[in-house]
Structure formats: structure tokens, C-alpha cells
A and B are shown apart, each in its own frame.
Chain A
């Protein structure tokens, strides 16, 4: 049975096609309309799998734009999908930390990937992907570089504010004082990890811990978060951005098998 998961977020859209294993997947930058993003990313994933839309027997939609995806049979919360997706990839996972473009979530799971507890922040840009985006732009580096350059920090600086707006002012001050970019980048990643760590502690994060979402690719944030939590974060073997879409596809598989085509 071929199923699909489609996760339309604020900055990217992802689609995964599965048949017990992953047949194809795609990640694209989001368009202005979620329905357009959904159609494009699904077509790309189908192309990679060498399939057509008619071959998909069940599709679950998730993410910020899930209600606008035209071809889904069911929509599910991002929280539920991230839990299922992470558990499928790594059965030992008990905590998932997902950092998206404009939110951050921490979820604690049981051994079947069901959610026991979760905590989310989508009110304040600090601690979300947006914080890093703003800071990378200020430093004139890409988001990827922000993660790697901070590893070369000799004398990491610290930031006294939490608010993205005030941190911007602090970073400008450091730049004007000719502080090394690596040292500033380290301070930014550390500040990010502290905010995310608060959410993780709210759900009493337990081992194994994994990260999903684009920010999981930022080595600087991951290593600082390991320090904050005092535990190693396990690396998932798939692109951390498609965890939600995988989870949606897993749920699609369960629904298709159960014959519940509602």
C-alpha cells in the first residue's frame, strides 16, 4: 500500500512517499500560498519515487498550512506527526525537540511514539528558527555557516537579552566593537540553546533525545543544547526536516490498513 505524508510549514514544505520504507521525498521553500507549496512538493516527491498521484492510496497532511492541502484524506497535528515520525526512524526515542521556522516544540513520547507531554512556543521569536535567521542576516552569513563558524569560537561571548530585538542591538554592538564573528555566532547559538532547553525541561526530557526541523542541522545549536541538557542528542538517519512528513505518512499507512478512509 503506497501512502504519503505532506507537511506544509511556514518556511518549507515537505512530502514523503512510503510503502513500508521511504520511496521518495522532497523539501522545497514555501510559496506564498500553502496549496501551491503542497502541490509542488508532492509532485517532486512523486517524481523521485517514479509514481503518480493516483498511486497514493492515502495521504495525511500536517503543518501550519495543513488545512489548505487539496489532496489529503486526513489532517493531523504537527505534534502527533513528529512523535510518530521520530519513533519510526529511531524506536528508542523518548523526546523530540523540533525547531521550525517560527516555532519550537518539545515532545515526550511513549515507546509507541504517542505523545505523553508537549510544550510549544510560537509566541516569541526567541528560541525559534526565526531568531537564527535574523542573526545570520546581521552577521552576513548563511544559516548553515552560522552553525559551523561557531565551532571555531576561541572566546565565546555572552548575550544578556532574550528578546530577538534586543539581541540584535547587542550583536550590532559586538560587531561595532570588532569582536570576531565566530565568537558572536557561538553566543547566538548558545542563547538559542538556552531558550530551547527551557521547553525541553518543561516536558522533563528523557533519553533518547533527537531533534527535528531545519535547525537540527546547525551543529552549533546542537552542541550547545547538549551542554544545556547534559545529554547527547541522537542524530536521526534521515533529513531532520522530513520527520513530520514521515510521521504523517506512517499515520496514513495505519489508516489505510485499518480501512478507515474517513
Chain B
């Protein structure tokens, strides 16, 4: 039985196709202006990768910010539920998922079956989300994907005093003008974001094992900064951390078919 999960976020769209509890295909694309377009494009790419056509998908679950606009989803699930299921399927020992997306951050506590016990999220303030790093990468004129590597050579991370993205951006510009080391600035930014996200996660009591998902989890600098801020190890989920929600959606699709 072939099932799919489609996660249409604010910045990227992801699709995972599964058969008999195995991943056949997984794709990530940048979001288009309409969520419907993003959904079609990412699904087409995944189908192509799996060598399938849409009619062969027995059930598809949609999730993410744009979930109600996915034309081929037979059911929608919340991102929180999908992240829980996805993480538990990938690593059964997981009890906490920290997901940092382009426009939000969430911390989710799970039971041993991947059901959500408690969660907290922030989508009100851009500081504490992936957008923080995006704005700062722009201000530093470096690529977002380079930030992790850049931070690794830092000797003395600079402490960023402003929390607000708007104020921190000005602070970064003056740090650059003062001739401060870019690696130290980037490392300071990672610590600042990690601090915000850790405060969020601590609000629901930390539980191990912890995994990090979402695009920001690809940033090695953030990974270590968050470990430091939490005072706990974070397990590497193994697969692309951006597809966790789509995996969870596909698991829900399979469960739905079984019942």
C-alpha cells in the first residue's frame, strides 16, 4: 500500500512517499507564492523519484501552514502531530522534538508511541525562529546555508544584546563596521537563537532523547549552540531534518488506511 505525506510550509514544501513502512521518495522545494502550486510541484518531483503516478497513492495526508490548500490530500493533520509521529518513526527513543522553521519554532513532548503530550510554540516574534538567521545572513552578506560552517572557526563568540530582529540587525551592522570577526558574530547569533528556543523548550520540561527538526537543524553551529543552551545532548535524526513532518503525515496516512 503506497501512501504520501505532504508538508507545505511558509518557505519550503516537502513530500514523502512510503510503501510498507519504507520511504520510496522524499523531496523538498522552495515554496511558490501559492501553496497549491508548491504542493503540486513537490508531489510531482517525489512521484518522479519513486517512478509512480498520483493515482497509485492510496492515501495522502497534508500538513503545514498551507495544508488546507493541498488539492490531493484526503485528510489534514496539525504540524505538531506530524512532527511527533515522524520523529518517533525515525527514532523510537525520542521524547522531545524541537522544530525550528522559517517562521516559527516549536517544542513537542511525546509519549513512547509518538503521541503529543505537551507542546509550546512561538510564531508571534520573529526572533526565535529561522527568520532571525535569515535576516542576519542577509545583513552579513553570507549565505544562510554557510552560517553553520562559518561559525565553526569562532574563538570568542560575541554576545548579541538585542533580542528583537530589527534591533539585532542594526547591532550586527555596527559590529561588522567595528571590524569584529564574522565567525564570532555568527556564533553569537547562533547562541542568541539557541537561547530563545531553549527557553521555549524548557517551558514544557526537557525530556530525552531530544531531536532537532526543520531547516535550521541542518546548521551545525545551531546544533551545538542549542545543545549548550539546553545543557543536553541532541540526537542526530539521520535523515534530512526538513522532511520529518512529511514523514509523520505519511505515517498518519498509512495508519488511516489500516483502520
Q: Which residues of A contact B (CB under 8 A)?
A: 102, 123-125, 130-131, 134, 161-166
Beta-carbon contacts under 8 Å, B149-206 to A: 163-167
* A130 engages B167 (CB within 8 Å): yes
Verify if B239 is at the interface (C-beta below 8 Å from A). Answer: no
Instruction: Give a binary string over B71-109; 1 marks a CB under 8 Å from any A CB, 0 the rest.
Output: 000000000000000000000000000000001000000
Cβ–Cβ contact B124 & A164, under 8 A: no
Contacts of B128-157 to chain A: CB distance below 8 A:
131, 135
Decide: A165 and B131 in contact? CB cutoff 8 A: yes
State whether A125 and B126 are in contact (beta carbons under 8 Å apart), knowing that A165-B131, A165-B135 are contacts in the complex.
Answer: no
Complex Cα–Cα for A124 and B126 (A): 11
What residues on B are CB-neighbors of A130 within 8 Å?
Answer: 166-167
- A162 proximity list for chain B (CB < 8 A): 124-125
Extra inter-chain contacts (8) besides given A165-B165, A165-B166, CB under 8 Å: A123-B163, A123-B164, A124-B163, A124-B164, A125-B165, A163-B124, A165-B126, A166-B126
Interface residues on B, range: 10 to 19
Q: Main SS of the interface on chain B?
A: loop
Q: Which residues of A contact B131 (CB under 8 A)?
A: 165
Docked-complex contact A163 and B126, CB < 8 angstroms: yes
Q: Is the beta-carbon distance between B124 and A134 smaller than 8 angstroms?
A: no
A164 close to B165 (CB less than 8 A)? yes
Q: A124: nearest residue on chain B (CB-CB)?
A: B164
Question: Nearest 4 CB-CB pairs, A to B?
Answer: A165-B126, A125-B166, A164-B166, A165-B165
> Are B164 and A134 in contact (CB-based, < 8 A)?
no
Residue among A125, A130, A131, A161 with max Cβ neighbours from chain B (10 Å)? A125
Q: List 17 A-B contacts (CB under 8 A).
A: A102-B167, A123-B163, A124-B125, A124-B163, A125-B165, A125-B167, A131-B166, A134-B166, A161-B124, A162-B125, A163-B125, A163-B126, A164-B165, A165-B126, A165-B165, A165-B166, A166-B103
Q: Which residues of A contact B164 (CB under 8 A)?
A: 123-125, 164
Minimum CB distance partner of B165 in chain A: A165
State A165–B126 Cα separation when bound (angstroms): 6
Shortest beta-carbon distance from A16 to chain B in Å: 28
Residue of A nearest to B162 (CB): A123
- Closest residue of A by beta carbon distance from B126: A165
A101 to chain B, nearest CB (A): 11
Chain A residue, CB-CB nearest to B125: A163
Interface 0/1 of B33-61, CB less than 8 Å to A: 00000000000000000000000000000
Q: How far is it, in angstroms, between the C-alpha of A102 and the C-alpha of B169 when the chains are bound?
A: 13
Q: How far is the CA of A123 from the CA of B161 in the complex (A)?
A: 10
Min CB gap B56→A, angstroms = 37
Instruction: Tell me, in angstroms, the Cα distance from A193 to B243 when the chains sit together.
Output: 41
